[in-house]
Amino acid sequence: MRGAFGLPRRDREAVGRVKALARAAGSFPPETAFAVNEIACADPSCPGIETVILVMEPGVKTRAFKIPKPLDDVTEQDVRAALGS
């Protein structure tokens, strides 16, 4: 079954879970937006599939944090380590 934007429902749930972990991992202002994507990197130096968290705070350049594993495998500890918290 597909959800919004054509993503499988489980992926949408995983995206929401990782966004919530990112918000909880830092002291971000309430207006901070997060985007979470799983990407396949073809570069030989990449892990293959990685999860990217974009943190978009008002007045601050967007920052990207990469976790070298699939979205479904991302843990709270992975998010904290990626965000440096």
Reported as a pLDDT band with limits 50, 70 and 90, residue 2 is very low
Instruction: Determine the Cα–Cα distance for residues 58 and 41; give it in Å rounded to an integer.
Output: 29
Instruction: Determine the Cα–Cα distance for residues 67 and 47; give it in Å rounded to an integer.
Output: 9
pLDDT in tens, 8-59: 555 889 999 999 999 999 889 999 999 999 988 777 877 688 999 999 999 9
Q: Indicate if the pLDDT at residue 3 is higher than 60.
A: no
Q: Indicate if the pLDDT at residue 1 is higher than 50.
A: no
Q: Supply the pTM of this predicted model.
A: 0.84
Q: Which residues contact 2 (CB under 8 A, 6 or more apart)?
A: 8, 9
Q: Which is nearest to 69 in space by CA: 7, 20, 18, 4?
A: 18
Beta bridge partners of 2: 8
Mean confidence (pLDDT) of the chain: 87
* In the chain, where the domains are located: 4-83
Beta bridge partners of 29: none
* H or E element in which residue 82 lies: helix 76-83
The structural architecture, per CATH, of the domain 4-83 is: 2-Layer Sandwich (3.30)
